[in-house]
Amino acid sequence: MTSRTQDAYATSNGAGEISIGADDTLDDDDAFAQLVFHELCHAITEGEAALRQPDWGLDNVAAHAVREHACLRLQAHLAGRFGLRALMAPTTPYRAYYATLPHDPLIDDADDAGGDDAGARARAALQRFEQSSWRAPLEAALSETAAAIAAAQARAPAHPLGFRLGPASESCGSCAWLYVGGRGPGVSRCRQSAPVNGDGMRTERSHPACARWEAPVDCQACGACCREAYHSVTVSMRDPVVWQEPQLIVRHGARFEIRREGPRCAALRVDSDAVAPAARYACTIYDNRPRPCREFEAAGRHCLDARRRVGLSARADA
């Protein structure tokens, strides 16, 4: 049974009831179906005993992060069976973790090797799910959701490149992801439509904006390339930053890197008086920044990749 509440984002009472926040408590990108599905994935991941515990026996403590990771891996796997992986993405701070899951979210990866056994937990949860009475109704609900979305998209007006239409007051010409390129004389192209390697599809500045439209990138409101999107910045031993900023240099044999502080570059300053999406990011060594940073193109291919990894831009498979 489900209900709505003003007291929580999403919660379970241990007596068979899931409560989802009322509409005015949720963000614009939250969806009732996604929130219920996430809670059900928690129930499956935690096991039968958790059904009788409020919030499946979880709370917002660091020790439970691996259990959240396991739930998200199971969630990505089950949703992916019906083409809903992107739609069922979490809208919490765990979105960045979800966005970087591999094609098969159940496989072991670097996180598991570091002591996070989320992959193993997710595989055990899937095995329980496959043998449970939950499987048929949950898969039926996912199938009906996918069918309803497909029907709605078929009725909706489309952008010439096939995306759903976006803000009526904008156009491709005002989008961050329009660029001029391609073989021969450059033409207007859409970076959001580009494959992993190669150019995006041709478009026109006059085309109406699609659902992936974004205003020009404000680097200091983004900071994706300097935070969780990448694990390191490798620099040449001849790069001036090595002697200009020695306190930020870490040496690994013949390889030099900019030091990290947790998931972020140690040279990154974050405005502590603001929180996302109002946080501001600044490089404390901007004038001495290494060559890879100087060559990093705002609104370029790698910029879009970084934003996708931290959940700021639509994924290629969304």
The model's pLDDT over 104-132, given as tens digits with 9 standing for 90+, comes to 999 876 544 445 788 999 999 999 999 99
pLDDT, mean of residues 60-72:
80
Report the pLDDT value the prediction gives residue 111, as an integer from 0 to 100.
47
**Among residues of the chain, what percentage have pLDDT more than 70?**
94
pLDDT, mean of residues 267-287:
80
Report the pLDDT value the prediction gives residue 61, as an integer from 0 to 100.
61
Cα dist. 94→63, 73, 229 in Å? Answer: 15, 11, 13
Greater confidence (179 vs 275) lies with 179
260 φ, ψ (degrees, to nearest 5): -105, 150
- Whether the per-residue pLDDT at 81 is higher than 80: the answer is yes
CA atoms within 13 A on the CB side of 192: 23
- Whether the per-residue pLDDT at 37 is higher than 60: the answer is yes
Q: Which pLDDT band, with edges at 50, 70 and 90, does 62 fall under?
A: low
Report the pLDDT value the prediction gives residue 113, as an integer from 0 to 100.
45
Q: Domain locations in the chain?
A: 2-151, 158-216, 219-309
Report the pLDDT value the prediction gives residue 24, as an integer from 0 to 100.
79
Report the pLDDT value the prediction gives residue 278, as an integer from 0 to 100.
67
Report the pLDDT value the prediction gives residue 273, as an integer from 0 to 100.
59
Peptide bond into 292 cis (omega under 30): no
pLDDT, mean of residues 183-209:
92
- Whether the per-residue pLDDT at 194 is higher than 60: the answer is yes
- Whether the per-residue pLDDT at 63 is higher than 80: the answer is no
Q: Which pLDDT band, with edges at 50, 70 and 90, does 228 fall under?
A: confident
Q: Which of 195-199, 244-248, 305-309 has the lowest mean pLDDT?
A: 195-199
As a whole number, the mean pLDDT across the chain is 88
**Among residues of the chain, what percentage have pLDDT more than 90?**
54
Task: Assess contact for 202 and 257: CB atoms under 8 A.
Answer: no
Report the pLDDT value the prediction gives residue 253, as an integer from 0 to 100.
83
- Whether the per-residue pLDDT at 257 is higher than 90: the answer is yes
Q: Which pLDDT band, with edges at 50, 70 and 90, does 91 fall under?
A: confident
Report the pLDDT value the prediction gives residue 294, as an integer from 0 to 100.
96
Whole-prediction pTM value?
0.57
pLDDT, mean of residues 194-209:
93
